Amino acid sequence: MTDVKNLEEIFQSKIDAEQKIEPKDWMPDAYRKNLVRQISQHAHSEVVGMLPEGNWITRAPSLRRKAILLAKVQDEAGHGLYLYSAVETMGTSREQTIDDLLSGKAKYSSIFNYPTLTWADIGAIGWLVDGAAIMNQVMLCRTSYGPYARAMVRICKEESFHQRQGYEIMAVLAKGTPEQKEMAQDALNRWWWPSLMMFGPTDANSPHSAQSMKWKIKRQSNDELRQTFIDRTVQQAEVIGLSIPDPDLKWNEETKHYDWGTIDWTEFNNVVAGNGPCNKERLAARNKAHAEGAWVREAAVAYAAKKAKRKAA
Amino acid sequence: MSENPNNWPLWEIFIQSKRGLDHKHCGSLHAADAEMAIENARDVYTRRQEGSSIWVVKSEHIHASRPEDAESFFDPADDKVYRHPTFYTMPEGAKYI
């Protein structure tokens, strides 16, 4: 026991000294488990996140928008890959991680269980959902696990166009016909609260947060990140003439932050529990894609074997 | 790879200069096995505390793209300026975006 205690002390002192933990370092089981869960959930979110946006690729309003949306969805696939690779450095196989998503055992961000009803939803996702994700991901560039932090740096660099393309869509719609503006406002109305939920439970209700902060997996609390997101986004909505669907939203001169209403946590818990509008549809789509892609994976292996044989002959 | 079984294979050396950073390729050396390659890499490439971690990979296991194909191989990225944030027009006055 003294040995483990000693190892834990060394481990924590590295973290306290702002040193990264690398795959071959000793780490507490709970740290490994916590990270495997968090990074794989993050990876699954990138992958499932392609579905609501993919829904609009064929119906994008112009070739320009279509090319952009394709490029964005392609980026999300890449981000899933970087993160799955980071999970593998912790000794969990890729197959296991994917199986956990397909069986429904692993979670992904609940935001992707909401439907994309109109083109404006693509704008709202880029602006709000990617905006919220970026807040979290910028923080994670400084997370204590080296491979995760490095994946995040790469992802953040690539994400930088995602939020802008979404905001641009919203700005154009808001300046368009009354119907277009209405469509943009409707998308904001539907995506605002789920976007705030993306930051997770309040600090008071987030039992694992303290440990994650001590291990410097997280560097800022859910509530801090959520507040910064609100402060920034309200100004952006004003600039394009849309209104945030929160009657309690009000600038507080004393705190220099916006005061705002209350999240419907019953809805949040419901969606996390699997009862959101699209939970079943998303999981079914992933399972279908995986099953229908089986022949491609098999063919690639067969082709590689054939090439190797030819080379040897 | 060599006719003489006593010829040591070639190893590619990757050094991580500091925890948290990527391992970077810094050169190669000959060694009889992986352990020797790591020790020799330490002696050759980290004499001035350049490293905190070393990876060695047998050179024969490195596969590379072909320099002569580089132009056509990488050109799919050439006409996709919309992958860069500067491609987008942001409304006047919008902050933090």
Whether the per-residue pLDDT at A40 is higher than 80: the answer is yes
Contact A71 B82 (CB under 8 A): yes
Residue B47 covered by a domain: yes
- State the amino acid at position B69 in one-letter form: D
As given in the structure block, the two tokens for residue A313 are 């002959």
Q: How confident is the model at residue B78 (pLDDT cuts 50, 70, 90)?
A: confident
| Tally of CB atoms within 10 A around A58 | 8
- Taking one residue from A and the other from B, the number of pairs with CB-CB distance under 8 angstroms is 66
- Tell me which residue in B19, B53, B83 faces A71 most closely, judged by beta carbons: B83
Higher pLDDT, A196 or B97: A196
Model pLDDT for residues A187-223, shown as the tens digit of each residue: 999 999 999 999 999 999 988 888 999 999 999 999 9
Looking at every residue in chain B, the average pLDDT score rounds to 92
Closest listed residue to residue B59, CA positions, set B86, B35, B30: B30
Q: Cα(A102)–Cα(A97) distance, rounded to whole angstroms?
A: 9
Structural domains in chain B (count): 1
Residue B96 covered by a domain: no
Whether the per-residue pLDDT at B5 is higher than 80: the answer is no
pLDDT of amino acid A2: 60
The residue-averaged pLDDT of A53-58 equals 96
The residue-averaged pLDDT of A236-256 equals 98
DSSP string, B14-70: EEESSTTSPEEEEEEEE-SSHHHHHHHHHHHH-TTS--SEEEEEEGGG-----GGGH
Residue B92 covered by a domain: no
Residue B1 distance to chain A (closest CA, Å): 14
Burial of A38 from C-beta contacts in 10 A (0-12 / 13-18 / 19+) = buried
- B94 interaction partners in chain A (CB closer than 8 Å): 167, 235-236, 239-240
Residue B25 covered by a domain: yes
- Give the residue from chain B lying closest to A236, CA to CA: B94
Q: Which residues pair with B10 in a beta bridge?
A: B30
Domain that holds residue B30: 10-83
Model pLDDT for residues B16-60, shown as the tens digit of each residue: 999 999 999 999 999 999 999 999 999 999 999 999 999 999 999
Residue A129 distance to chain B (closest CA, Å): 13
Q: Characterize A142-167 residue by residue with b for buried, 16 or more Cβ atoms within 10 angstroms of its Cβ, and e for exposed.
A: bbbbbbbbbbbeebbebbbbbbbbbb
pLDDT of amino acid A212: 94
**φ, ψ dihedrals at A16, nearest 5°:** -60, -30
- State the amino acid at position A221 in one-letter form: S
Rg (CA), chain B: 21
- Tell me which residue in A14, A158, A163 faces B97 most closely, judged by beta carbons: A163
Residue B29 covered by a domain: yes
As given in the structure block, the two tokens for residue A167 are 């905001």
- B89 interaction partners in chain A (CB closer than 8 Å): 168
Residue B71 covered by a domain: yes
Q: Show Cβ contacts of residue A243 under 8 Å, excluding neighbours closer than 6 positions.
A: A185, A188, A237
ipTM of the complex: 0.85
**Residues B96 and A87: beta-carbon distance below 8 Å:** no
Closest listed residue to residue A49, CA positions, set A104, A106, A125, A102: A125
- Give the residue from chain B lying closest to A151, CA to CA: B22
Residue B91 distance to chain A (closest CA, Å): 7
Residue B15 covered by a domain: yes
**Percent of chain A surpassing pLDDT 70:** 99
- Tell me which residue in A24, A161, A236 faces B87 most closely, judged by beta carbons: A161
Residue B89 covered by a domain: no
CATH number at residue B14: 3.10.20.520
> Which position has the token pair 């980071």?
A86
What DSSP element (H or E) covers A287? helix A279-292
Q: How confident is the model at residue A20 (pLDDT cuts 50, 70, 90)?
A: very high
